[in-house]
Structure 1
Amino acid sequence: MGLLLLAPIGSCVALIFAGYLGYKVLKEEEGSEKMKKIASAIRSGANAYLKRQYTGVGIFFGVMFLVLSILAFLKFLTPFVPFAFLTGGFFSGLSGFIGMKIATYSNVRTANAASKSLNKGLRVAFSSGAVMGLTVVGLGLFDISMWFYFLNWFYRALPEVEKIQNITSAMLTFGMGASSMALFARVGGGIFTKAADVGADLVGKVEAGIPEDDPRNPAVIADNVGDNVGDVAGMGADLYESYVGSIVSTSALGVAAGLGIKGVTIPMTMAAVGVFGSIIGTFFVKSGEKAEQSVLLKALRRGVYVSAGIIAVLSYFIVNSVLGSKHIGVYFAILSGLLAGILIGFFTEYFTSDTYRPTQNLAATSTTGPATIIIGGLSLGMMSTAVPVVIVCIAVMASFYLSGGATNFNLGLYGVGISAVGMLSTLGITLATDAYGPVADNAGGIAEMSGLPAEVRERTDALDSLGNTTAATGKGFAIGSAALTALALIAAYKDEIELIAKKENIDFAFNLNLINPPVLIGLFVGGMIPFVFAALTMQAVGRAAQKIVLEVRRQFREIKGIMTGEEEADYASCVDICTKAAQKEMIAPAFLAIIVPIVVGLLTGVNGVAGMLAGATVTGFVLAVMMANSGGAWDNAKKHIEAGNYGGKGSDPHKAAVVGDTVGDPFKDTSGPAINILIKLLSMVSIVFGAFILNMSLF
């Protein structure tokens, strides 16, 4: 129990350091009055959106709390589940909210800092991202620690094995709250940001021929707002849920493997060590004044690699002191996850950054029009799925057998779970490099709209281009960690159902044979769900973008002085259209993830649910990688042309690339990232409603 104290200590350290970084960022100057005015408009739009979103989500959480309370009253759940659901959702939403708030205050400060030096701009934007990363891990560890110590006290009279079993079983359920909040944040924010982005690009850049972030574009403020509500608030809630899910599912698997309290100690202590490694890593992120991608990427990579190295070394001593040399293979399972995360990030960068051949070759296809760049982007995304799948497969196989799976199957599953914790242990700094991107993007927009000198825009463009690559890398990392976490959750689902059956004296045994009809049906349904989900979110972006296109065209037509700069565009109307559309359109995709597992369970039983989870994990992982990488490559192909290649801005290849980027926007920022939440939420819902399905299913 001594080492377990590191979890709440790590939580406090993360939140204190996040507060310190936030204080430092806020001390930076905002710049001119015009810069302040633009930043204020972005901030107001983001606040208005989140207020409306959280109001709607609050109603959903109230209804779900009532449903879970009824199930608890009927003895299908423990009385803690409804409250664990609320805390999971609350802290997930809070982490995204704090990240969004600091991002909307640091964008203008980054633009102003870039007027002094490139390194200064990088440090301000990265510090803002680090606030997001450390807030997520700090609140995640706080939520886990709070429930662990409360439940440990509540079940203190039970024998040790039974007590730990009850604790981990109850803790699994607050992941459903985190997953639900993450899905609403990701889908709603993704619809908002891409509706604004697509509308702004199609009318502004393609039809009117004005630059990106031009103040004459009525959708430009909505576009900047969207970067914050989608890529900051949404991403924060998303990775909070992965982080918490991997720790609690691994803890539950540790109990099933017979490790007792030791099985809980390892993932919670690992997470705390990750906090310290991430904090130290932030001090190594600095650059010179060369605005080259290779230089800036090296600066960010240095911080991540230092953090990973610290965690790799300290993990050995943790495993050795808790489990002893007999189970030292668990340490190598941690290393496999840590290495898998780094490799997935690197290969995502390879396929999406314009410093490498795949994206450069994609940019070249723009010379023959939009059709060829669309075909090239789709094929690039499909090809890019091979490497992450192989990496995850090797990590699963290695972690299973290295941790002792050959002699103890449950211990092997614990190894798979702990590898996911290993991958996510660097989250404090990995998320910082991702959340940095939208801040840099906003800084570039503010520099353009406020008319800062050309050298400042050159620096913010370099930071923005780096942000595109780190955002793509972050999405690859998020999807890879989601795959491992989902596998751990499927294993935890199986153990949880067997535990429920044993407690309630139900004569039941899993039959997961592929030719068992419920399992086969579940596989097909699960394989289909990510595609239907992606279709719903893509259609939502399309419908919302159409409204923005019509609104921007109307303003260009009716407000005569916009193009000459004599009159100001009505930015608020575009923000309002995006906000209303996002709230309305996110309902169907979100409810799909909650209703389908229950319906499949009632019709095909728990075997069918297991098949569904497997099918959704496989197709969801591959589809998410393909969509994220296609979108990232299209975006950076456009940036490659804007740097002066193939005719540069305004050329026919550039217009073709803008079309490709427009198609890729909902791929990489709405549907793709949301799928990784989908596959985890399906598992969480299945676990929470496991007893209900076991008792009420037709089969």
Structure 2
Amino acid sequence: MNIPEVFWIVPIASVVALGMALFFFSAMMREEEGTKRMIEIATHVRKGAMAYLKQQYKVVGIVFVVLAIVFAFMAYVLKVQNPWVPFAFLTGGLFSGLSGFFGMKTATYASARTANAARKGLDAGLRVAFRSGAVMGLVVVGLGLLDIALWFLVLSAVYGDQDMSLITITTTMLTFGMGASTQALFARVGGGIYTKAADVGADLVGKVEANIPEDDPRNPATIADNVGDNVGDVAGMGADLYESYCGSILSTAALGATAFALNADMQLRAVIAPMVIAAVGIFLSLIGVFMVRTKEGASMRDLLRSLGLGTNVSAVLIGVASFAILYFLKMENWLGLSFSVVTGLAAGVIIGQATEYYTSQTYRPTHGIAKASETGSATVIIKGIGTGMISTCIPVLTISVAIMLSYLCANGFDMSMNASSISHGLYGIGIAAVGMLSTLGITLATDAYGPIADNAGGNAEMSELGPEVRQRTDALDALGNTTAATGKGFAIGSAALTALALLASYVEEIKIAMIRMVDGGRQFVDAAGNVFDPSKATMPDFMQFFQVTLMNPKVLVGAFIGAMAAFLFCGLTMGAVGRAAQSMVEEVRRQFREIKGILEGKATPDYGRCVEISTRSAQREMIVPSLLAIVIPIVTGLVLGVAGVLGLLVGGLAAGFTLAVFMANAGGAWDNAKKHVEEGNFGGKGSDCHRATIVGDTVGDPFKDTSGPSLNILIKLMSMVSIVMAGLTVAFL
């Protein structure tokens, strides 16, 4: 196989991204960390975060070894899987874990430096926090593209001269996405349980019962709370978006290999097109990163506008560049495919803006929740749930329009539903997902910025810095709450498009598995008794062969199970947070009761005990929800077959996407309603309204930081597991 020269921009871009990540990290490390007290607090948080991550990787490592052995048995003994799958699975998990590790390492060094920079001014604090967040974004895209480029080169060398080589290569590469998804789910669930157990304990006992400020050093749970921001919102988020990024590129490449299978030259260009778009997106994201700055005394709107300038400029540039890239690659219908990319970018921007409107303390929905606090915490919760439900409309309609537009643009607005029209349209949906994630370098920087700013505020409070510094860090923290909510909305939206592309890739993997079995002597017969040849079958042929219609009870049952899985997963993770938080609340109360002088500031709380409770709870509670996401697709495939699995993935996608948007937005709105009150509205800090919004924020914590963001991994992991287990599903037909 002759790899086009333009492909080499992919590994080059990955190296540039990693090099710039190192540059930003080194620049951050040259900043002063502040006073002795600031350094001491940052060291406690850093040690706690690294200790937790080390323990988590031990547990996840055991799971990965067991699964790799299972995949090896399926590949080398049962012969129902590609022999490269166990290795691809392990590298996907390794690179996903590295993304989270490097991002968290940066964040734990950046928080005190951000607080210290805020002593000089708001712009200085913003730049340190944002460029430290950019390390996470650039590490994710750099490692993602590096992994993809290396696997493409290795598999091209192995399969390059065989029939259906590109289809085999791309479907094999998809399997490393399962490793990334598995690692991401453990990181998101475990980190989410850790951070929310500490956060709920710190808020309910510290702020509500003891009436002490947030991040007060007298609160025994405050160090655990700051550690949690890093392990949940940084390490978990990095692993999450790494697998979204890789999944969109790999699924689109697999769809391109199928859609253009009759033209070998065009097929190769269709496979590398999403990789090249993502590579160019790295360079354009860097332009956006350097554009983010603000002025002293900036309002929340000014800060949002500053971050929006960087992300929107990058999005516009990649939109324009896509036309040039696809034209240069001489893609068939390059103009229509370019508009598919633009559709994905536009959908990401719209979802981000909608999320900002419903969660930012600047706008009416959050003000309404804050006003509801005048009648108590119950009305705060009711108003927040209602706001979260209403907020699902714009993202769902946006993704629906994006799916239709990207599909039609890619197939020339052909609604005939023939095989060629469907395959080209599905490729358009995949490349729209790549477009949405092509600026991940800067989009993820705005998300990772949030927990860094939050920790900087905690450090400033515990170090007793001046009120002007705390005012600046509060502004950066409030901005971080909105960017975190926006980032979650973006991640969930990209997950919907990626999961849809993976749905089509699942059918292609079924096709490969059936061809492998036909070559081994097995014969497939359709409902009419005719021999079915999978090598010549199109997408509609497979739908007919497996009777994938709404009248097939297997499809309907699968859809119900998929929808149920989303709610079951949320229930389990919410319950886990509740149990862990209960232990934390009891421990904080015990210390206030038994360690004399804590509230007077004369005694030091036992921070280590609270860190230990969060760590132990997270490790224990993350196992069952995470393993369910792997077990459900396997059992569904064995019992209900391909039709049941397709129903499962559709039901899980529809319910999971909507539920994730609701939970993330409701949680973000509750959080910023509290911030709005703390700014002096409705009585300000310490008032009855403030206590009511704290309760709402506490309810919203597991919504927005545990269950909600984990759902977008769930829907993709179920797709990835189904793809990897396609051979086993076919073997039981």
The TM-score with structure 2 as length reference comes to 0.94
Q: Is the 8 A contact 1:130 1:282 kept in 2?
A: yes
Q: Is the 8 A contact 1:617 1:679 kept in 2?
A: yes
Instruction: State yes or no: 1:483 paired with 2:496.
Output: yes
The 5 A counterparts of 1:444-593 are 444-505=457-518, 506-507=523-524, 509-593=545-629
Instruction: State yes or no: 1:337 paired with 2:344.
Output: yes
Q: Is the 8 A contact 2:60 2:183 kept in 1?
A: yes
1:457-491 deviation digits (Å, cap 9, x = unpaired): 00000000000000000000000000000000001
Counterpart in the other structure of 2:177: 175
Number of corresponding residues = 695
The 5 A counterparts of 1:126-525 are 126-159=130-163, 162-258=164-260, 259-324=266-331, 326-404=333-411, 406=414, 408-505=421-518, 506-507=523-524, 509-525=545-561
Change (3 A) 1:52 1:341: same
Q: Is the 8 A contact 2:226 2:458 kept in 1?
A: yes
1:672-691 deviation digits (Å, cap 9, x = unpaired): 00000000000000000001
Whichever residue aligns with residue 104 of structure 1, its letter is T
Distance 1:532 1:3 in 2: 46
Counterpart in the other structure of 1:657: 693
Q: Is the 8 A contact 1:133 1:429 kept in 2?
A: yes
Distance 1:607 1:275 in 2: 39
Counterpart in the other structure of 1:10: 13
Distance 2:546 2:365 in 1: 45
Whichever residue aligns with residue 195 of structure 1, its letter is A
Q: Is the 8 A contact 2:185 2:626 kept in 1?
A: yes
Stretch deviating more after TM superposition (10-19 or 312-321): 312-321
Q: Is the 8 A contact 1:291 1:459 kept in 2?
A: no
The TM-score with structure 1 as length reference comes to 0.99
Partner-residue secondary structure (3-state), 1:283: helix
Per the TM alignment, residue 156 of structure 1 is displaced from its structure 2 partner at its CA by 2.8
Distance 1:250 1:6 in 2: 18
Distance 1:542 1:645 in 2: 30
Counterpart in the other structure of 2:23: 20
1:277-336 deviation digits (Å, cap 9, x = unpaired): 111111100000024101111110111011112111111111112134633200000000
Per the TM alignment, residue 178 of structure 1 is displaced from its structure 2 partner at its CA by 0.1
Stretch deviating more after TM superposition (398-407 or 173-182): 398-407
Given candidates 58, 71, 92, the residue that maps to 1:68 is: 71
Per the TM alignment, residue 76 of structure 1 is displaced from its structure 2 partner at its CA by 1.0
Partner-residue secondary structure (3-state), 1:504: helix
Whichever residue aligns with residue 502 of structure 1, its letter is I
Whichever residue aligns with residue 446 of structure 1, its letter is N
Q: Is the 8 A contact 1:15 1:134 kept in 2?
A: yes
Distance 1:630 1:81 in 2: 39
Whichever residue aligns with residue 250 of structure 1, its letter is T
1:195-236 deviation digits (Å, cap 9, x = unpaired): 000010000001000000000000000000000000000000
The 5 A counterparts of 1:573-652 are 573-652=609-688
Distance 2:295 2:182 in 1: 42
1:4-23 deviation digits (Å, cap 9, x = unpaired): 11110110000000000000
Per the TM alignment, residue 502 of structure 1 is displaced from its structure 2 partner at its CA by 3.0
Gaps of 5+ in 1: none
Per the TM alignment, residue 166 of structure 1 is displaced from its structure 2 partner at its CA by 1.2
Change (3 A) 1:118 1:333: same
Q: Is the 8 A contact 2:160 2:166 kept in 1?
A: no
Distance 2:401 2:160 in 1: 40
User: Percentage identity across aligned positions?
Assistant: 61
1:417-446 deviation digits (Å, cap 9, x = unpaired): 000000000100000000000000000000
The 5 A counterparts of 1:77-88 are 77-88=81-92
Q: Is the 8 A contact 2:13 2:280 kept in 1?
A: yes
Distance 2:710 2:74 in 1: 28
Distance 1:324 1:650 in 2: 62
Q: Is the 8 A contact 1:88 1:178 kept in 2?
A: yes
Given candidates 40, 44, 47, the residue that maps to 1:41 is: 44
Distance 1:152 1:335 in 2: 30
1:145-197 deviation digits (Å, cap 9, x = unpaired): 010000011113324xx111111011010000000000000000000000000
Per the TM alignment, residue 498 of structure 1 is displaced from its structure 2 partner at its CA by 2.2
Per the TM alignment, residue 517 of structure 1 is displaced from its structure 2 partner at its CA by 1.2
Whichever residue aligns with residue 411 of structure 1, its letter is H
Change (3 A) 1:510 1:2: farther
Distance 1:167 1:325 in 2: 22
Whichever residue aligns with residue 370 of structure 2, its letter is A
Partner-residue secondary structure (3-state), 1:328: helix
Distance 1:3 1:231 in 2: 36
1:11-57 deviation digits (Å, cap 9, x = unpaired): 00000000000000000000100000000000010011001000110
Stretch deviating more after TM superposition (587-596 or 397-406): 397-406
Gaps of 5+ in 2: 261-265, 415-419, 525-531, 533-544
Q: Is the 8 A contact 1:374 1:660 kept in 2?
A: yes
Counterpart in the other structure of 2:537: none
Q: Is the 8 A contact 2:270 2:331 kept in 1?
A: no
Per the TM alignment, residue 510 of structure 1 is displaced from its structure 2 partner at its CA by 2.8
Partner-residue secondary structure (3-state), 1:79: coil
Q: Is the 8 A contact 2:171 2:505 kept in 1?
A: no
Whichever residue aligns with residue 472 of structure 1, its letter is A
Distance 1:186 1:20 in 2: 27
Counterpart in the other structure of 2:98: 94
Distance 1:577 1:323 in 2: 58
Whichever residue aligns with residue 688 of structure 1, its letter is V
Distance 2:726 2:512 in 1: 10
Q: Is the 8 A contact 2:352 2:487 kept in 1?
A: yes
Whichever residue aligns with residue 490 of structure 2, its letter is F
Q: Is the 8 A contact 1:254 1:264 kept in 2?
A: yes
Q: Is the 8 A contact 1:358 1:380 kept in 2?
A: yes
Per the TM alignment, residue 512 of structure 1 is displaced from its structure 2 partner at its CA by 1.3
Whichever residue aligns with residue 684 of structure 1, its letter is M
